Amino acid sequence: MENNFYHTIYGINNCISYLKSDFFLESSIISINNKSVASKHKELLAILSQINNVKYFNSEKFKSKFNFKHDQGIVITFKGSLTKEINDINHFSENSCYLICDQINDPQNLGQILRTSECAGIDGIILPKHGSVHITDSVIQVSQGALFYSNIFIETNLNNTIKYLKSKGFWIIGIENSIEANDWYAMDYKGKIAIVLGSEGKGIRNLVKKSCDFLATIPMRGKINSLNVTAAVSAVLFERQRQLQSINKI
């Protein structure tokens, strides 16, 4: 497993998400500034009252140890793996949806994608082992705790991963800007779906694109022909949510 090393997170929302998640380990080191927002936060204090390994510092000592912007007076260090293996999953629900990110290199983008995906109820994020940013402290921080409620898979060969998903009944939809394809909102995102997005500029690699069953595009109407990958993810994933909700209303 990758990412089985030390991570540092800070800020109340991120830290509460970690402490309430299955990723939380009793061996985590929790540092609190006695005169901070964190030391007065009721929900956080209720959680910390059940944990032994909490260290309280005065403001001077805390600031000498940590120099994070917007830490709100709490820093947690922990060690553990944050990724899983897709082949370990043998059963997928009827409306499973996985997001395959092909060569996303910006930690800010990946963190935002994780946050959006968790809000949209996506079952997991699949990243290639090579040519992609993985789970860094920056990615965790930008995700605002979403990573701790997400399934992250790092795969050596995306084409083999796609073949495995197809064997389990998945349809694969690739999303790219400015190509000859169906409009993104015209696609059927119900059922077992894997959605593939590439990095800005490069898009989806050709071999991965050829493995897709369908291609969809988000047409650009403005002067610039570029859409941030995180915006594209939001558009597609919440269109899927709209389609699923329309079923429930029938």
Q: Which residue has the higher pLDDT, 147 or 224?
A: 147
Report pLDDT for 149: 92
Calpha distance 218→59 (Å, rounded): 50
Token code pair at residue 48: 């910390």
- Closest of 62, 154, 33 to residue 44, by C-alpha: 33
| pLDDT class of 1 with cuts at 50, 70, 90 | very low
Q: Which residues contact 238 (CB under 8 A, 6 or more apart)?
A: 120
Q: Backbone phi, then psi, for 118, in 5-degree steps? A: -65, -40
- Render pLDDT for 163-184 as a digit per residue (tens, 0 to 9): 999 999 999 999 987 667 788 8
Q: pTM here? A: 0.88
- Closest of 5, 43, 2 to residue 25, by C-alpha: 5
- Render pLDDT for 14-57 as a digit per residue (tens, 0 to 9): 999 999 998 888 889 999 999 999 999 999 999 999 988 899 99
Q: Backbone phi, then psi, for 5, in 5-degree steps? A: -145, 180
- Render pLDDT for 80-102 as a digit per residue (tens, 0 to 9): 888 988 988 888 999 999 999 99
Question: In whole numbers, what is the pLDDT of the chain averaged over residues?
Answer: 89
Q: Which residue has the higher pLDDT, 150 or 221?
A: 150
CA 96 remoteness from chain centre: 16
Report pLDDT for 26: 81
